[in-house]
Amino acid sequence: MNLTLIIISAVMTIGLFSQYKTNKMVQETEKPKYELIQSFDEFEVRKYPKMILATTKIKGNSYSKNSSRGFQNVAGYIFGGNDENKQISMTSPVIASVEDSMTMSFILPSEYSLNELPLPNNDNVKISIQPERVMAIISFSGFANDNDIEHYTKILKQQLAKEGLSNKGKVFFQGYDPPFKLTDRTNEVAIELLSL
């Protein structure tokens, strides 16, 4: 076996092992325990519990252009950018809304109550309680961008109209995977429903 083949085999082995470890990490990351209300052909309806969010607001209405900056702001808080220099576990999904400006939120681990959490050092990171809500969810894979979010938002809104489900209109993107996870990525577009 020549040297080039050995190097290619080693790189492929390292890459596969890295993706295995990444997939395992994603599976073990805390996610909100929602109740599945109803499944449709194209989407499902879920009831999410009350959650505590760390949220930042970014000027601009492009997820593709602003997601890195939004992520850095909120990640800074959980990686110790707070008044206690406390590390807080990452959860998923990361939640973004894109309108005239973009917000990005991390769900804080369920082990914390609001008064147990440290205060952010960054004035652009706010801690708040997201009340229980019912969401319509459509899922898709790959590396999400503005076009994907727009495409799946359109499909979800059409399906909601078809089923006669009224909604609040605000669209959220939910991303479950770190950027270094290359395969089997999970993304969602979510819209809060007014009632069932």
- 18, 7, 45: which is closest to 163 by C-alpha? 45
Largest CA distance in the chain: 65
- 145, 122, 152: which is closest to 57 by C-alpha? 122
pLDDT in tens, 166-193: 998 899 999 999 877 778 899 999 999 9
Helix ranges restricted to H, 81-186: 146-163
149 contacts 67 by C-beta, under 8 angstroms: no
Q: Is 109 exposed, middle or buried (0-12, 13-18, 19+ CB in 10 A)?
A: middle
The tokens 């819209």 sit on which residue?
191
Q: Is the pLDDT of residue 53 over 60?
A: yes
pLDDT in tens, 9-47: 555 555 444 444 445 554 568 999 999 999 999 999 999
Q: Which percentage of the chain shows pLDDT scores above 70?
A: 85
Under the banding of pLDDT at 50, 70 and 90, the label for residue 8 is low
The pTM for the full model equals 0.84
Q: Is the pLDDT of residue 122 over 70?
A: yes
CATH T-level fold of 50-130: Multidrug-efflux Transporter 1 Regulator Bmrr; Chain A (3.20.80)
